[in-house]
Amino acid sequence: MIFLFNKGQEEAPFQLLVAVILMTFVIIVGLNAMNEASKQKCFNTTEKLMNDLKLAIEKTAVYQQPANVNFSLPNCTKKESFVLFNSDEPRLCQRLCLNPSSSCLVLRYSTSDVTGIQDKCIDVTSSTQFNYEGDSCEAMAGFEGINVETDAGFVSGIYQFLYSPNSSSDNPIICVYLKGKN
């Protein structure tokens, strides 16, 4: 005997619709949480890399000690770069370096997708020179001299920063070497 007008049969399609809507909502919220966690991981990795580079350059320039950095781009986006440049903008130097200087050395992470990552002031004299060849920087076995002040900036690899005395002026010279491009 079939009961066509049973109340349970009328509610079944509605319950199924509610279940599908709830499951869709749970999946969307879960995917959003995973996306946010990925962005936060990317942000933290990038901040750590910037601090590692900053400290290595400062250690070399100020204390005249060699420093190594195992640097690997975080691959947060398709187009990202870490660029080192001299800024002649007093307002930027004041904000980043907390001193009223007319110029400063800045490390910047550039990408269009990740926001909130602040530029880093490299606490060395802005007249610090970065060399990769010539009389001040000798060749090192297994390493390649590299110009980090280009538009390409830092690429993945192991960096070695060495202090080189400057006989012609008081400006420090830092020789930058790269071992292997990952």
pTM of the model: 0.78
Dist. CA 9–CA 31, nearest whole Å? 34
Burial 60-75 (b: 16+ CB within 10 A, else e): bbeeeeebebebebbe
54-108: pLDDT as tens digits: 999 999 988 889 999 988 877 777 778 888 888 899 888 888 888 778 888 999 8
The pLDDT value given to residue 58? 92
Angle at 131 between CA 137 and CA 67, to 5 degrees: 75
Domain ranges of the chain: 7-181
